[in-house]
Structure 1
Amino acid sequence: MPPYEAASLLVDTYFDRAHWFMLIFQQDDFRQRWPKLYQRHPGRPAEYSNAAFLSTFLVVIAIGIHYVGPYRQSLLTRHGVASSLKDRILSCVRAKLLDVMSLGSLEAAQTCVLLGTYYLYHGSPRLAWPVCGCGLRIAQALHLHRRLRPLGSPDFRQQYETRKRCWWAIYEIETFSAVVYGYPHSIWDADCDVEPLDPSAKLQAVQSPRISDELQAPKTTLLSYKRLMSELSVVTKAALGELYRTKTSPVEDGKPLRSRRDLQDTLQAVARYNSRLQQWQARLPLELQWDRISDHANYSTPEEIDRDIGATGPRFESHIYQLQAMALMLAYENAMILTHRPLLSYKLHSSTDSEASRAGSEQADQPKPTPFVSSLEACRTAALRMSSIQSSPVLKLVAETYAVTFVSIHTFTAGVTLGILCSMDPLNQQSSASKLALQNVMEIQETLKSRSVVADQGLDILQRLTKLIMQKELDMLLGKSKRTTTQPSSPRRPSNQGLPDELQVLTGDVTFDVSTSEGVATLDRGVPSALPSRDDIPYTNDSAMTEALHDFDQALLSYAPQPCREQEQTAENPILWPPTVDGFPILEQTWLWDLDNDPFFHADLGP
């Protein structure tokens, strides 16, 4: 272990740079416990120390070493601590990890979470996944996912809140990994009845609320962020399962058979989760609303905050709220893209001649919005909002924190979304704004790449994708490529007048119509008053989106290192997959845009 003074500096750095993002344990409790590791106990064996807590402490200071700035690095050098200590600590913890896990304690679960997230956020998702999985199993063995019968003592309340912090940290990591890398979620919600986190746990000695409605307008605390992020994770996990992997269908010749009824179910599910996400956003307290605080930063430079060691007080607290507000906004907009992605690859068939004549020439010139167009605009809006952090002074401060890769991953998703939408029709009006936003995303990755390998890789891929988009635009301008336009230039909100045979569905700020022969059925907050029949939504693959996704595949394939020609392709070692996957974690982040994951792509889409 490093000298006590250096350890104290590294613990402060962890709480300055990482704790606000993780909140996996109680800060006061940890600060009281770790100095005891340096106390000598004559006559007692070395094993007297809590090995699990020792491992937690070691990972904490390793993370602290990773995020020290130049000023703190100079202080560590005076204490004889080199940056190589981080690698030695991580190697030691990895070597003893099985011994730590065998203890089956809360600290063992915390160690797995801290070590797993370190690898998750530093370019090794396939190593992080099993380590975090071990933390999940320990947590389940300790029943962290189950509600405990409350006792009146303050000690019980503190211990219970610490248990809940660990559980919800694990839940968020599972959801984040599933969303970002397409990994299967390992938590069954029906088996979990633990209460949500109580943001006022340190402010008042009262029983934790059993349901969120029992907590009436609590004072915003640093723990409010963790509760909101865990609630968002619950919604995101549900959307991920229902829209991507939980539905099953008959299989013929190795291809899933999907009926139009499946798409109708998806339309309603998208509307339902869109509504749940909007309800979540409406509950954000003022201190955590990104649009309200994005133009202001409490520290002018990273160097200034680097010198504010062990910071406390209103200024630092407000700074943490700004970082947390950015993280919440990015997670929310990323969830919006995840929710609407299943509808992006499709379009409605053209109206029949009789319908076109009845609509009139004016309406024929302005196609009515469809659920697919509305989802496309919802994704565009989400990506544009994420790209806007480029102009915020908070960005350069978040680059020095544990959330740097979290930010780079989510903005990379925004960049891919914008790139694909630009590639669909490079000459339309929205494409110009999308290209400017894509430029902002690349500037974000440029700002973060010194601290995040994922940002460095993401920047390279986005640059390649941009070159393909610009080449496609040039070909269209020169008449070398045919322009395919499948979306109206700007969706409009239709009137109920003259539309007696339409199903109205609310997604985002856009109301769209789906033709039906069973009268009007309004989806209010995802609850239909009537359901259309299975043959009422004639749809087909959108060739423009398919072509754009192939452009994106080309950018990815040119990015990944190619294996030797004599190398044989196997299921375990695909010929186009890089030899060392953990060296290129960005490639796994693109699973959302893989046509093989599209539940309707191989379906019969005839009218």
Structure 2
Amino acid sequence: MPPFEAASLLVDTYFDRAHWFMLIFQQDDFRQRWPKLYPRHSGRPGDYTNAAFLSTFLVVIAIGIHYVGPHRQSLLVRHGVDSSLKDRILSCVRAKLLDVMSLGSLEAAQTCVLLGTYYLYHGSPRLAWPVCGCGLRIAQALHLHRRLRPSESPDFRQQYETRKRCWWAIYEIETFSAVVYGYPHSIWNADCDVEPLDPSAKLQAMQSPRTPSEPRARKTTLLSYKCLMSELSVVTNEALGELYRTKTFPGEQGKPSRPRRDLQDTLQAVAKYNSHLQQWQAKLPLELQWDRISDQANYSTPEEIDSDIGATGPRFESHIYQLQAMALMLAYENAMILTHRPLLSYKLRSSTEPEALPASSDRADQPRPNPFVSSIEACRTAALRMASIQSSPVLKLVAETYAVTFVSIHTFTAGVTLGILCSMDPLNQQSSASKLALQNVMEIQETLKSRSVVAEQGLDILQRLTKLVMQRELDVLLGKAKRTTTQSGSPSRSSSQGLSDELQGLSGDVASQVPTSGGLATLNRGASSALPGPDDIFYINDPAMTDALLDFDQALLSYAPQPLGEHEETAENPILWPPTLDGFPILEQTWLWDLDNDPFFNADLGN
């Protein structure tokens, strides 16, 4: 272990740079416990009996080493500590991880989550997921996912909140891994009855909410972020299971819950989760609303933060709210793209007039509800909003925190979305704004790449995708490629509830069964004589989306590393350094746009 003074600095750095994002344990409790590991400063023999807490402490200071700035680095050098200590600590913890896990304690679960998230946010998702999975199994064995009966013990409230923090941190990481990398979600919501986190846990008079929908305490605290992120993770988990069939637990009949969904069900599910997400956003307190604080920064430079060791007080608290608001906004907009992605591959067409109602219709001047166009605009709006953080002074500050890869991952999703939408129709009115936003996303990745390997790889792929988008635009301008247009003019989420209403209106208007034949799904509009008959309206594959996905696939193929020859060896030993096996984690982040996941690409059209 490092000298006490160096350890104190690294613990402060962890709480300055990472704790606001993880909140896996209570700061006061950790600060009281860790000095007992140093006998000279605790006045008693070193407490090494709790090996699990020792491992948690070691991962904490390893994370602290990773995020020290120049000023703190110079202080560490004075104490005889250099950056190589981080690698030695991580190697030691990895070597003893099975022993730690065998303890089956709360601290063992915390160690797995901290170590797993370190790998997750530093380019090794394949290593991170099983490590976090071990933490999940320990947590379930400890019944962290179950509600505890109230006890008269004076420590009950604090112990219960600590258990809940660990559980919801695990839940959030499971959901994040499923969203970003397409990994199966291993938590069944119906098996969990643990209460939501209490943002005012330190106020003994306050009562913890019993369900996520129950109003929480009005006062915003630093824990409010974790409560909101946990609620968003629950909604996202449910959307993943229903829209992407990622659930692996048994269904009602004892079979995997992975039914093939028809388009009618998908329309209704997208409308439902779009509404759930909007309801979640409406609950954000003022301090965590990104649009309110995006142009503010309580510190002018990362160096200023680096000098503010163990920061406290209103200024630092406001700074943390700004970072948390950015993270919440990015997670929300990413969830919006995730929700609407299944509809992007479809197109609503009429056999008589492809894009409008018949002229004889009494409603010919009113656009037909089109959920597919609405979903395109929902994804575009989400991506534009994520790209807008490029102009915020908070961006350069978040680059020095544990959330840097979280930000780069979500903005990479925004960049891919913008590139694909531009490629679908490079000459439409929205493409100009989308291309400017794509440039902003690449600037974001450029800003973050010195701190995140994911940002460096994402920048490379986005540059390749942009070249293909511009080439497609040039081909269309020169007449070398046929232009495939997409209808525009859908209402934006920021101005009204029109998107949700439009989706609900159409999905509720069609028949309960949407028969398919020859790849076309016939839409039954019911009794409305103003609309074309059921034989005139079709849901069909949108060829523009297929072409755009092929462009993106080409960008990935040109980036993907070539397999090694029989006699070639990697420069690093994969046994000693597992990240070698995860050298290109960015490729796994693109599962959402994989042609294999496209509903038409592998569709069985014979049914």
C-alpha separation between the residues in 2 aligned to 1:595 and 1:456?
24
2:39–2:46 Cα contact (<8 Å) kept:
no
Aligned match of 1:423: 423
Aligned match of 2:137: 137
Structure 1 residue 539 displacement after superposition: 1.3
C-alpha separation between the residues in 1 aligned to 2:320 and 2:544?
43
One-letter amino acid of the counterpart of residue 239, structure 1: A
Listed as ranges, the matches of 1:8-407 within 5 Å are 8-39=8-39, 48-245=48-245, 262-352=262-352, 358-359=358-359, 368-407=368-407
1:400–1:451 Cα contact (<8 Å) kept:
yes
Structure 1 residue 246 displacement after superposition: 5.4
Per-residue CA deviation, residues 500-532 of structure 1 (Å, 9 max, x unaligned), is xxxxxx996436768xxxxxx847xx9x58854
2:390–2:443 Cα contact (<8 Å) kept:
yes
C-alpha separation between the residues in 2 aligned to 1:603 and 1:509?
31
Cα distance 1:367–1:603, how it changes in 2: closer, same or farther (>3 A)? farther
2:186–2:247 Cα contact (<8 Å) kept:
no
Cα distance 1:192–1:472, how it changes in 2: closer, same or farther (>3 A)? same
Cα distance 1:204–1:336, how it changes in 2: closer, same or farther (>3 A)? same
Aligned match of 1:534: 514
C-alpha separation between the residues in 1 aligned to 2:356 and 2:510?
26
One-letter amino acid of the counterpart of residue 159, structure 1: Q
C-alpha separation between the residues in 1 aligned to 2:335 and 2:353?
39
Q: Which deviates further from its counterpart, 537-546 or 1-10?
A: 537-546
C-alpha separation between the residues in 1 aligned to 2:355 and 2:327?
47
One-letter amino acid of the counterpart of residue 451, structure 1: R
Structure 1 residue 405 displacement after superposition: 0.1
Aligned match of 2:576: none
C-alpha separation between the residues in 1 aligned to 2:510 and 2:438?
41
Q: What SS does the corresponding residue of 2:350 show, helix, strand or coil? A: coil
Cα distance 1:564–1:138, how it changes in 2: closer, same or farther (>3 A)? closer
Cα distance 1:510–1:210, how it changes in 2: closer, same or farther (>3 A)? closer
C-alpha separation between the residues in 1 aligned to 2:380 and 2:429?
13
C-alpha separation between the residues in 2 aligned to 1:491 and 1:267?
16
Cα distance 1:586–1:362, how it changes in 2: closer, same or farther (>3 A)? farther
One-letter amino acid of the counterpart of residue 510, structure 1: L
Q: What SS does the corresponding residue of 1:540 show, helix, strand or coil? A: strand
C-alpha separation between the residues in 2 aligned to 1:423 and 1:354?
21
Aligned match of 1:498: none
C-alpha separation between the residues in 2 aligned to 1:507 and 1:27?
41
Structure 1 residue 427 displacement after superposition: 1.1
Aligned match of 2:533: none
1:374–1:510 Cα contact (<8 Å) kept:
yes
Listed as ranges, the matches of 1:465-544 within 5 Å are 465-485=465-485, 487-491=486-490, 509-510=498-499, 522=505, 528=508, 531-535=511-515, 536-537=522-523, 538-544=538-544
Q: Which deviates further from its counterpart, 469-478 or 407-416?
A: 469-478
C-alpha separation between the residues in 1 aligned to 2:208 and 2:361?
61
Cα distance 1:529–1:467, how it changes in 2: closer, same or farther (>3 A)? closer
Per-residue CA deviation, residues 35-87 of structure 1 (Å, 9 max, x unaligned), is 00001699x99884311000000000000000000000000000000000000
Cα distance 1:468–1:581, how it changes in 2: closer, same or farther (>3 A)? farther
Percent identical? 85
1:380–1:417 Cα contact (<8 Å) kept:
yes
Structure 1 residue 604 displacement after superposition: 5.6
Listed as ranges, the matches of 1:429-448 within 5 Å are 429-448=429-448
Aligned match of 1:251: none
1:387–1:440 Cα contact (<8 Å) kept:
yes
2:491–2:498 Cα contact (<8 Å) kept:
no
Per-residue CA deviation, residues 384-415 of structure 1 (Å, 9 max, x unaligned), is 00000000000000000000000000000000
Aligned match of 1:254: none
Structure 1 residue 599 displacement after superposition: 3.8
C-alpha separation between the residues in 1 aligned to 2:596 and 2:344?
14
Cα distance 1:531–1:473, how it changes in 2: closer, same or farther (>3 A)? same
Per-residue CA deviation, residues 199-228 of structure 1 (Å, 9 max, x unaligned), is 011123444232245545421000000000
2:220–2:287 Cα contact (<8 Å) kept:
yes
Give unpaired runs (5+ residues) of structure 2: 249-257, 516-521, 524-537, 568-578
Aligned match of 2:590: 590
C-alpha separation between the residues in 1 aligned to 2:436 and 2:8?
45
One-letter amino acid of the counterpart of residue 154, structure 2: P
Q: What SS does the corresponding residue of 2:209 show, helix, strand or coil? A: coil
1:369–1:488 Cα contact (<8 Å) kept:
no
2:442–2:463 Cα contact (<8 Å) kept:
yes
Aligned match of 2:251: none
C-alpha separation between the residues in 1 aligned to 2:354 and 2:110?
65
Structure 1 residue 588 displacement after superposition: 0.1
Cα distance 1:197–1:419, how it changes in 2: closer, same or farther (>3 A)? same
1:271–1:507 Cα contact (<8 Å) kept:
no
C-alpha separation between the residues in 1 aligned to 2:386 and 2:491?
24
Give unpaired runs (5+ residues) of structure 1: 249-256, 494-505, 515-520, 568-578
C-alpha separation between the residues in 2 aligned to 1:565 and 1:507?
57
One-letter amino acid of the counterpart of residue 467, structure 1: K
Aligned match of 1:570: none
Per-residue CA deviation, residues 439-493 of structure 1 (Å, 9 max, x unaligned), is 00000000000000000000000000001111111111111111111x1132369
Q: What SS does the corresponding residue of 1:358 show, helix, strand or coil? A: coil
1:337–1:379 Cα contact (<8 Å) kept:
yes
Aligned match of 1:461: 461
Aligned match of 2:551: 551
1:104–1:138 Cα contact (<8 Å) kept:
yes
Cα distance 1:48–1:356, how it changes in 2: closer, same or farther (>3 A)? closer
Cα distance 1:55–1:605, how it changes in 2: closer, same or farther (>3 A)? same
1:220–1:287 Cα contact (<8 Å) kept:
yes
**Could you state the TM-score of these two structures normalised by the residue count of structure 2?**
0.88
1:423–1:472 Cα contact (<8 Å) kept:
yes
How many pairs align?
566
1:540–1:605 Cα contact (<8 Å) kept:
no
1:541–1:605 Cα contact (<8 Å) kept:
no
One-letter amino acid of the counterpart of residue 143, structure 2: H
Per-residue CA deviation, residues 517-557 of structure 1 (Å, 9 max, x unaligned), is xxxx847xx9x588544244331111110000000011001
C-alpha separation between the residues in 2 aligned to 1:136 and 1:464?
38
One-letter amino acid of the counterpart of residue 588, structure 1: E
2:341–2:375 Cα contact (<8 Å) kept:
yes
Structure 1 residue 565 displacement after superposition: 7.1
Structure 1 residue 566 displacement after superposition: 7.4
2:21–2:324 Cα contact (<8 Å) kept:
yes
1:157–1:207 Cα contact (<8 Å) kept:
no
Cα distance 1:357–1:51, how it changes in 2: closer, same or farther (>3 A)? closer
1:7–1:61 Cα contact (<8 Å) kept:
yes
Structure 1 residue 428 displacement after superposition: 1.0
Per-residue CA deviation, residues 318-338 of structure 1 (Å, 9 max, x unaligned), is 000000000000000000000
2:123–2:454 Cα contact (<8 Å) kept:
yes
Cα distance 1:353–1:176, how it changes in 2: closer, same or farther (>3 A)? closer
Structure 1 residue 258 displacement after superposition: 9.8
1:144–1:167 Cα contact (<8 Å) kept:
yes
One-letter amino acid of the counterpart of residue 488, structure 1: Q
